[in-house]
Structure 1
Amino acid sequence: MAPRPVWKGYLKLSLVTCAVEVSGATSQSEKVSFRTLNRHTGNAVRRQYLDSASGKPVDGKNEVRGYEVEKDEFLVIEDEDIQSVQIESSHTLNLDSFVEKGDVDPVYIEKPYYLAPADKVSEEAFAVIRQALENKKMAGLARIVLYQRERPCLVEPFGKGMLLTTLRYGDTVRQAAEANDGRGKAKADKDLLDLATKVVERKKGKFDPSTFEDRYEKAVLDFIKSRKKSGRKVPARQEPTEEQPSNVINLFDALKKSLAAGDRKEVDDEKSKGGGARRPAAGGKSPAGKKPPPGKRKS
C-alpha cells in the first residue's frame, strides 16, 4: 500500500514545472507500545485538558490555538487562519541552486521523504528534471512548508524517483568545537595507527540495513512474553557481552588482540563452511597419503 502523501504541490526548475507529491520515507511505528494505567484499579487512564482558572475539563471542540502576546494575554488563532498563511514554498518546490551531495555536512541532514510525480501528465517533466540532476551528479536546494513550518531541503535522484531530504537551519546546529571542548588534539602513534587501519580493513563490508535489529526491543518483548506466561517478574533477556572495558587500556595490546580475534573468526567461518581440517581417510592415511602419527588409532 502506497504511503499517504504529506504534501502536494509543484516542482519547478526555471520554466519547467510539474505536479508532485511528497510522502514519508521512514516509519515511526513501534512494535512495543505501552498504555498508562491506574496502579490501584488496573484501568487505562485518559488525559484531559483543564481550564487553568476553573479547573474544569475542556471539550475537544472548544480547544483552540492561542499565541501569548503579553503575560496571560492570548491571541486566538483558528485553523482557518493558519491555512490562510501561504508563501511560495507552501505549494512550490523551486530548485533555485544546486550543490554536490557531498558538500552538505551530515549534521544538517534531517529527514528523508520520497518525491514522485502526482499524475501521468507530470511524469515527463519530472523525468527531465530528475535526469538533468543525475547527469550532473547534483542535488537541488529548495524550501518546503511541512507541518506548519518552512524547511530548507535537498532534492536529488533516487532510484527511479527522487528523494527530498529536509535540512536543519544553521542556527539550530551546534558547532563541533563546542562538543570537543579543546579535546581531540592528540597525535596518533604510527604503529598504533597501522594496527587500527588493519582492523578497519579486516572488518570492511557492504552496508546492509536488513542486518539491523533492535535488540533492546526484542529483550523487552521476551520479558513481556515471560511475564505473561509466568505471571511474575522475570529478568529481561540479556545479550552475551564481554567484560566491560576499563578506561585505562594498552592500545597496542588491544589492537593486537582485535586482529587475533579476527583471525580466529576467519578460521571458525572456514570450519563452518566445511573447509576445516579433514579427518584421516579410510585405511589410516591422511588426504596427503601420509600415515597417521605413532600412537594414533587408525580410523
Structure 2
Amino acid sequence: VETEDQTKGFEAEKDDFIEIEPDEIKKLKLTSAHTLEVDEFVALDEIDTRYLEKPYYLIPADGAALEAFSVLREAMKKKRVAARSCVVLYQRGREVVIQPFGKGMLLTELRTRDEMVSEKSVFEDLTSPKYDKDLLEIAELLIDKKVTKFDPSKFEDTYEDALIAMIDAKRKGKKPPKAAPPPKQNVVDLASVLRKSLAKEGIKAPSKAKPARKSA
C-alpha cells in the first residue's frame, strides 16, 4: 500500500474501523502548563517498583518558587512520602510520582496498568518444591560473601563492548572476534554449582550433619 493511500484508524468492532484524520490527532496533543498539581501522597515503601519507568530531575522554575519547593521537599522527606501527579510529557498526559532527591526532587514517569503483565499469568504454574536445607545454607553463605553497595559505575554494556571490538578488529584488518557459543541446555546440579562458587570465594561449605543414632 502506497504511503498516500494509508490512513490511521481504530477497530471499534471486528471489521468495523473508525477512520481518524491527522488533524484530529493533533487536536488531542496537550501542552504543558509548567505547573504540577499534587493529586495525593503515598508512602515510599508502598510504591510498586514495577510501575517505575523513566526518572527526571526536578528543580523549581525560578527563585520565587524555591522556598515552596524546599519546604515541600523537606516535609515529604520527613514523612517518607512521594507525591502522585499528572504532567504533560511529549504532548501526552503522564502519571508520575515525585520524591525528595538530594537538593532537588526526582520525578518518575509511571507505566499504566494496561502496560503491566499480571504476575499471576506468569507464575501461576510455578510450584514450591521441597529443598535441601544444606543448599539454603550454602546459598546464604554465598550471598553474605557477595553483598556489596549498589554501584552503577560497575554496569557494562556488553553489546557496545562487542561492537567496539568488532570495529577495532576490522580497522586493523583482522577477523572480528567470534561470538561465544550458547550455553548447553543441560540440567544443572545446583548443589555442585553453589559449592564450586563457595570454593572460588574461599568459603568452606557446611558438611551434611550425620543422623543421630540410638545407643544399643
What TM-score bracket applies, with the shorter chain setting the length?
Answer: 0.7 to 0.9
Preserved CA contact (<8 Å) 1:140 1:155: yes
> CA 1:149/1:187 → structure 2, altered by over 3 Å: closer, same or farther?
farther
Q: Identify the residue that residue 236 of structure 1 maps to in structure 2.
A: 177
Q: Identify the residue that residue 174 of structure 1 maps to in structure 2.
A: 117
Gaps of 5+ in 2: 11-15, 204-216
Q: Identify the residue that residue 97 of structure 1 maps to in structure 2.
A: 40
Deviations 1:149-192 (Å, cap 9, x if unpaired)?
22211100001000001111122211112112411422333111
**Which of 59, 68, 71 lines up with 1:116 in the alignment?**
59
Asked if 1:252 corresponds to 2:195, the answer is no
**What RMSD in Å do the two structures reach over aligned CA positions?**
2.9
In 2, the alpha carbon distance for the partners of 1:151 and 1:184 equals: 37
Preserved CA contact (<8 Å) 1:67 1:77: no
Deviates more, 1:140-149 or 1:193-202: 140-149
Between Structure 1 and Structure 2, how many residues are aligned?
197
Deviates more, 1:218-227 or 1:176-185: 176-185
Asked if 1:138 corresponds to 2:84, the answer is no
Preserved CA contact (<8 Å) 2:85 2:96: yes
**Which of 215, 218, 223 lines up with 2:158 in the alignment?**
215
Cα drift, residue 196 of structure 1: 0.5
Larger Rg: 1
> CA 1:157/1:237 → structure 2, altered by over 3 Å: closer, same or farther?
farther
Q: Counterparts in 2 of 1:254-293, with a 5 A limit? A: 254-263=193-202
Preserved CA contact (<8 Å) 2:170 2:176: no
Preserved CA contact (<8 Å) 2:138 2:194: yes
In 2, the alpha carbon distance for the partners of 1:247 and 1:184 equals: 21
Q: Identify the residue that residue 91 of structure 2 maps to in structure 1.
A: 148
Look up the SS of the partner of 1:153 in the other structure: strand
Preserved CA contact (<8 Å) 2:43 2:82: yes
TM-score (norm 1): 0.58
Deviations 1:231-250 (Å, cap 9, x if unpaired)?
x6x233668x9x94654232
Preserved CA contact (<8 Å) 1:138 1:156: yes
Cα drift, residue 82 of structure 1: 4.2
> CA 1:220/1:197 → structure 2, altered by over 3 Å: closer, same or farther?
same
Preserved CA contact (<8 Å) 1:139 1:155: yes
Identify, as 1 or 2, the structure richer in helix: 2
Q: Identify the residue that residue 213 of structure 2 maps to in structure 1.
A: none
Cα drift, residue 228 of structure 1: 2.3
In 2, the alpha carbon distance for the partners of 1:258 and 1:105 equals: 33
> CA 1:176/1:80 → structure 2, altered by over 3 Å: closer, same or farther?
closer
In 2, the alpha carbon distance for the partners of 1:67 and 1:129 equals: 44
Q: Identify the residue that residue 29 of structure 1 maps to in structure 2.
A: none
TM-score (norm 2): 0.78
> CA 1:90/1:68 → structure 2, altered by over 3 Å: closer, same or farther?
farther
Preserved CA contact (<8 Å) 2:76 2:100: yes
Cα drift, residue 142 of structure 1: 1.0
Q: Identify the residue that residue 16 of structure 1 maps to in structure 2.
A: none
Q: Identify the residue that residue 51 of structure 1 maps to in structure 2.
A: 4
In 1, the alpha carbon distance for the partners of 2:22 and 2:58 equals: 35
Q: Identify the residue that residue 187 of structure 1 maps to in structure 2.
A: 130
